[in-house]
Amino acid sequence: MESKVLKPVLAVYVAAFILFLYGPFFVLAILSFQQGPEGGPQFPIIEWSTYWYRHLFGFTPPSRIAPLPVGEALVRSLTLAFMTMVTATVLGVMAAQAFRRRFKGKGLVFYLIVLGMMVPGVLTGLGTSLLANNVIGIERHWWSTAFVAHVVYTFPFAFLVMLAILNRFDNSVEEASWALGVSPVRTFRKVTFPLIFPGVLSAMLFAFTLSFDEFPRTLFASGRDQTLPLAIYGTFSVEIHPNIFAFGVMTTLFSFALLSVYGILMALSVRRAKKTAMQEDIV
Amino acid sequence: MVYDLQLKNVGKVYDNGTPAVIDFNLDVEKGEFIAFLGPSGCGKSTTLRMISGFETVTSGDLLIRGKRVNDQLPEKRPTSMIFQNYALFPHMNVRQNVRFGLEVKGMSKPEADKKVDGILDKLGLLDISEMPTSRLSGGQRQRIALARSLVVEPDILLLDEPLGALDANLRKSIQNELKLLQRDLGITFVFVTHAQSEALALSDRIIVMNAGRVEQISPPRELYTRPKSEFVARFIGSNTLIPGTVLKSDAETITLDTAFGAISGTNRINLTEAKGQNMSIVLPAEAVELVPGDTKEGELRKTFGNNVIPCRIDRLQVVGHIMQMLVSLENGDTIHIEGHVDKYRNRLKVGTSAYVGWQSSGASVIGQ
C-alpha cells in the first residue's frame, strides 16, 4: 500500500533531480552544434554543424564574431588551480594531523579554519583586495592575492576531508612503527602517508575543482589578468554566441578526464587496500 | 645487579588532573615474564605505555638496564610492542612487515634478509611470507607482529592484551607458543591482561593493579594461595570472604569470631598478638566442600573441625564431569562451589539445607 504511493513519488523526485542536474548541460551541448556564424544561442537548431568548435580553435574564416579570449585565461586558471591544490592539500594534511592531538584552543581553531568556506565569497574577495591595496600596499595578481584567496577558500575542504580520513586511522600502526625504532618522519612517509593516500587524492580533487571555477573571490582579488571564469563572464556582457557552449562542452570533457584519472588512481589504491584490507575489519 | 626494567615511584597524572598510575615500584630481572593484571581502567595499559614511551611519566623514574629513560623518545628505547589489534602495516606483505624495523638500522641487505628469514622460520611463517596480511588468520597475524617486534632484538618486549582478539582455542595454543618463545629467547616480557587465567599460566610474577595502585606483586601460585588484600582475594580465583575479629592465633592457624561462629584459616602472615583485630577468612571455591543437611554433627566435626557453616542449596548444574553448585549462607552471601560429579551426584537437592565445610589449611586470612 505504502509503496504504491511512495514509489511513484520517489520516481518523480529522482527524475526531477536528474533533469535539473544534467538538463542544463544537455541543452548547452545541443546548442553548441548550432549552425554558424549566423545561428544564435537558441532553438530551433537551424542546421547541425561543428562550426563553433572549429571557431573555438581558430579554424574558421574570419567573421564578425571575435574568437573567445580564453587561451591565456585557461592556462592561468589551470596553473592557479594546481598551485592552490598543492598548497591547500599540504596545509590540510598538516592541520588534520595536528587535530589528532589535544591542544589548547582546538575548538576555536577548528571553527576559524572552517570559517574560510562559510564567509560569503564576494566579501572575502573584496576584503582581500582592500587588504592588499590599502593596508599592505601590494598589487593584485591572480598568482598572489587571488592565490591566497583560493587557498583560504579550499583549505577548509581539504582539511575536513583529511580530518575524516585520519579520524578512522588506527594510531597503533604508527606506534608499532615507532616502537620498532623508526623515526616519526620516516613513519609518516612509509606508513601513515600510504594509508591516507586515497583521502589525499580526494582533498586534491576538491581543491582543484573548487579553485578552477572560483568566481566571486577571484573577481576582486585577481587584478588585471583574468582567470577562465572571469574571461567567460566577460564575454556574456557583449553578446552570447554558441562558441561559449562549445567551450563549456570542452571543459566538461576535461573535467570528466580529470575525474577518470582520479577514479583510476582511487581504484588502484582501493584494490591494493582490499588486498591488504584494513585490519580492524577482522578484529 | 642491573635490572632490565625498574620503576621507581612511577606515577602518571593526566593533563586534566586525573591520576592514572600512583607510586608504581617494580624491579624486573632479565628474562622474567611479568604480567600486569587488573580490571579495565586500573592503569596497567598506561604503565605499559609509559615503559614504551607513548605516555609521559609525570613523577618517579623509569630505568631500562640501569639507564633512566623518562625523557627518551619511543623510537630510541630498546623496547618493542605487541598490540591487541596486531597493528600490522596493511600496505605491506608479511615479509615487508617483518623487515620494516631493520630497514632503518643501516643493516646490509643480505644480513637483514637472513635475519628476517630466521625469525619467519622460527615462527612458522616462511610459507606465507609473500602473502598480504589481510588474508591471514588472527593467530597468524599475531605471529607476524611477534616476528616484526623480535627481529629488531629489543631488550624488553611489551605486550598489550596480545591474545584479547583471538578465540579461546587459539588463545591457548598461542599462549604456549609465547611462553616457549620467551624461554627460548631469554628476553624480558611485560604482558598486560585482564584475564587472570592468562596471567596465571604465563608469568613468573604477576602485578595486580587496582585504581592506579599496585595491590600485590607475587608469583602466580602465591597470589592464588596468599592474597594480601581484599581486592586481590576477590579478583583472583573465586573466593568467599567472611569478616570477623581474631579470637586466637598460633603458628599454623588463625581463628576468627564471625557471624557464623568461630572459624579458622591458615596463618600465612605470621600473625601474632592480634586478638580483637578485624580480619577476613578467604575461602577459595576449590577448598570448600558441600555436605547434605542430614549429616551427623559428630561426622562434620571430625572432618572439618569448627569450619562448618549451614547453607541452602540454590542451584545444581552438571557441566561434563563437574558439578557446579550455588549455595547461599544465612547472611545472604552466595558461594560457588565446584566438585567432581561422582562425589556429589544424588546426594544433594535444590532447596534443601546443607553445610559448607573446609579444612583450615585450605583457607587463608587477610586484614580488612
Model pLDDT, residue A281: 42
Contact A175 B88 (CB under 8 A): no
pLDDT band for B284, please (50, 70, 90 cuts).
Answer: confident
What is the average pLDDT across B44-66? 94
Inspect the interface and report whether the beta carbons of A172 and B152 lie closer than 8 Å: no
* B250: its cell numbers: 598460633
Give the pLDDT band of residue B273 (cuts 50, 70, 90): low
Assigned C-alpha cell, B309: 557453616
Is B93 at the interface with chain A, CB within 8 A?
yes
Q: Is B145 on the interface with A (CB under 8 A)?
A: yes
- pLDDT for A1 equals 55
By the CB < 8 Å criterion, does A191 face chain B? Answer: yes
- CATH 3.40.50.300 residue spans of chain B: 5-225
Q: Quick check: B291 and B300 in contact, CB under 8 A?
A: yes
* Residue whose entry in the numeric block shows the C-alpha cell 591494493: A272
Each residue's pLDDT tens digit, B78-96: 999 999 889 999 989 999 9
Contacts of A269 (CB under 8 A, 6+ apart): A197, A198, A201
**Residue B134 to residue A172, Cβ atoms within 8 A:** no
Evaluated on CA atoms A89, A90, A95, A101, the torsion sign reads: positive
Percentage of residues of chain B with pLDDT beyond 90: 38
Distance to chain B for A108, nearest Cα, Å: 19
Q: Are A227 and A213 in contact (CB under 8 A)?
A: no
Half-sphere exposure for A85 (CA within 13 Å, toward CB): 18
**CATH number belonging to the domain at B238-367, selected among 2.40.50.100, 3.30.1490.20, 3.40.1390.10, 1.20.1560.10:** 2.40.50.100
Q: How far apart are CA A140 and CA A126, in angstroms?
A: 11
CATH class name, domain B5-225: alpha beta
Domains in chain A, CATH or no CATH each: 2-56 (no CATH), 71-240 (1.10.3720.10)
Nearest C-alpha neighbor of B142 from the set B113, B188, B181: B181
What stretch(es) of chain B map to CATH 2.40.50.100?
Answer: 238-367
A109 vs B: CB within 8 A: no
Closest-CA residue in chain A for B75?
A181
The SS3 of residue B194 is: coil
Q: Is A101 on the interface with B (CB under 8 A)?
A: no
Q: Please give the ipTM for the structure prediction.
A: 0.80
Kindly give the confidence (pLDDT) of every residue in chain A, 283 residues in length, as a single tens digit, with 9 standing for 90 and above: 567 888 999 999 999 999 999 898 888 888 888 887 777 777 777 878 888 888 887 777 777 777 777 778 888 999 999 999 999 999 999 999 999 988 889 999 999 988 878 888 888 888 888 888 888 878 888 888 889 989 999 999 999 999 999 988 989 999 999 999 999 999 999 999 999 998 999 999 989 989 988 888 888 888 788 888 888 888 777 777 888 888 888 888 888 888 898 888 888 877 776 655 444 344 3
- Model confidence over B11-49: pLDDT tens digits? 999 988 889 999 999 999 999 999 999 998 899 999 999
B339 backbone φψ class: left, alpha, beta (φ>0; ψ -120 to 50): beta
How far is residue B30's CA from residue B5's CA, in Å, rounded to a whole number?
Answer: 8
Q: Would the CB atoms of B165 and A273 count as touching at under 8 Å?
A: no
What pLDDT is attached to residue B15? 85
Average pLDDT over residues B157-170: 86
pLDDT tens digits, residue range B301-349? 888 888 999 899 999 988 888 888 899 988 888 888 888 888 887 788 8
